[in-house]
C-alpha cells in the first residue's frame, strides 16, 4: 500500500461519499488529515467559495501542523436540468436556470481555484506538494442534462494542465481524477432502473465504490507518483457515457 506517513492532507467536501472515504484511506496510509466541508461535524466548516474562510482555514492548518503536503479538491454539487426543455418537438417552459448554473460553477470550479490559490504559496515555500482535482468522466465526454456540471468538470481538466506547468518547477504536481458512476450514498438512492442503466454502461458491470476513487487519490498523493503531472486518471470501469 502506498504510504503518506506524516504528510498533511487537506480534503474538501469530506463530509460523506468520496471525500469521507478519501479521508479514511489517507489516515490509514499515515497522513494527518484536515477535512473541510460546509456540513457541521465534518471537520473544519469551510465554504470553498469564500476566499476569506479558505485563507483562514489554510492559516489554521499551517499553524497547527506546520505544512500542507496534499490538497484534494473534492467538494462539488449537482443541479441538473436540460438547457431547454423539449417535449414532442415543442419547446416547454423552464430549463436550466442561471442560478443553478452559477451555483455549480461557483462550488465545483471557482471553489477549486480559491482553495488551490490559497494553498499553493505554502507548497511553493516547501518546494513540494500534491494537488489533486476532482473532475468526472462527463467532463471528458459530456452528459445529457448536465451543462453546468460538465462545464465545471471539463474546466477543471484545463486548470489542472495549466497549474501542472506553472507549479511543476516548484516541486508541486497537479493531477485530476475523473470518476465514472460511483455508488455513493446519494447515487444508491436513485431508482433501480437508473442504477441498472449505469451498470449496463460500465464494462466491468458494477458501480464504482468510493474507495476506488480514494485509492486513486492515494497513489497520486504518494511519493511513487512524483513523475506524474498534468494527468487525468479515469476511474470509471471503462464507462461509455450515453445520451
The span from the CA of 77 to the CA of 99, in Å, is 13
| 145-180 confidence digits (pLDDT tens) | 999 999 999 999 999 999 999 999 999 999 999 999
C-alpha grid cell, residue 204: 466491468
Active-site residue, from 141, 149, 215, 217: 149
149 is catalytic: yes
| 196-214 confidence digits (pLDDT tens) | 988 998 999 999 999 999 9
3-state SS, the chain, equals: CCCCCCCEEEEECCCCHHHHHHHHHHHHCCCEEEEEECCCCCCEECCCCCHHHHHHHHHHHHHHHCCCCEEEECCCCCCCECCCCEECCEECCCCCCHHHHHHHHHHHHHHHHHHHHHHHHHHHHHCCEEEEEECCHHHHHCCCCEHHHHHHHHHHHHHHHHHHHHHHHHCEEEEEEEECCECCHHHHCCCHHHHHHHHHCCCCCCCECHHHHHHHHHHHHCHHHCCCCCCEEEECCCCCCCC
| 214-230 confidence digits (pLDDT tens) | 999 999 999 999 999 99
| 62-80 confidence digits (pLDDT tens) | 999 999 999 999 999 999 9
CATH topology of domain 8-182+209-235: Rossmann fold (3.40.50)
Which band of pLDDT confidence, cut at 50, 70 and 90, is reported for residue 243? very low
pLDDT at 242 over 70: no
Could you tell me the residue ranges of all domains in the chain?
Answer: 8-182+209-235
Amino acid at each position: 500500500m502506498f504510504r503518506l506517513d506524516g504528510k498533511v492532507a487537506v480534503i474538501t467536501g469530506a463530509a460523506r461519499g468520496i471525500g469521507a472515504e478519501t479521508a479514511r484511506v489517507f489516515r490509514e496510509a499515515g497522513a494527518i488529515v484536515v477535512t473541510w466541508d460546509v456540513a457541521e461535524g465534518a471537520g473544519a466548516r469551510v465554504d470553498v467559495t469564500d476566499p476569506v474562510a479558505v485563507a483562514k482555514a489554510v492559516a489554521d492548518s499551517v499553524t497547527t501542523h506546520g505544512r500542507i503536503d496534499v490538497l484534494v479538491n473534492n467538494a462539488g454539487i449537482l443541479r441538473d436540468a436540460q438547457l431547454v426543455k423539449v417535449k414532442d418537438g415543442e419547446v416547454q417552459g423552464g430549463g436550466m436556470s442561471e442560478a443553478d448554473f452559477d451555483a455549480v460553477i461557483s462550488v465545483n470550479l471557482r471553489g477549486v481555484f480559491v482553495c488551490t490559490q490559497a494553498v499553493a504559496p505554502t507548497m511553493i515555500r516547501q518546494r513540494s506538494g500534491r494537488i489533486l482535482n476532482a473532475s468526472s468522466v462527463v467532463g471528458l465526454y459530456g452528459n445529457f442534462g448536465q451543462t453546468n456540471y460538465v462545464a465545471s468538470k471539463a474546466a477543471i481538466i484545463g486548470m489542472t494542465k495549466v497549474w501542472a506547468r506553472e507549479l511543476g518547477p516548484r516541486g508541486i504536481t497537479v493531477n485530476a481524477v475523473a470518476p465514472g458512476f460511483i455508488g455513493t450514498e446519494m447515487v444508491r438512492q436513485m431508482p433501480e432502473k437508473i442504477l441498472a442503466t449505469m451498470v449496463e454502461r460500465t464494462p466491468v458491470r458494477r458501480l464504482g465504490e468510493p474507495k476506488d476513487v480514494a485509492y486513486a487519490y492515494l497513489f497520486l498523493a504518494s511519493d511513487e507518483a512524483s513523475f506524474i503531472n498534468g494527468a487525468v486518471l479515469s476511474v470509471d470501469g471503462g464507462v461509455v457515457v450515453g445520451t
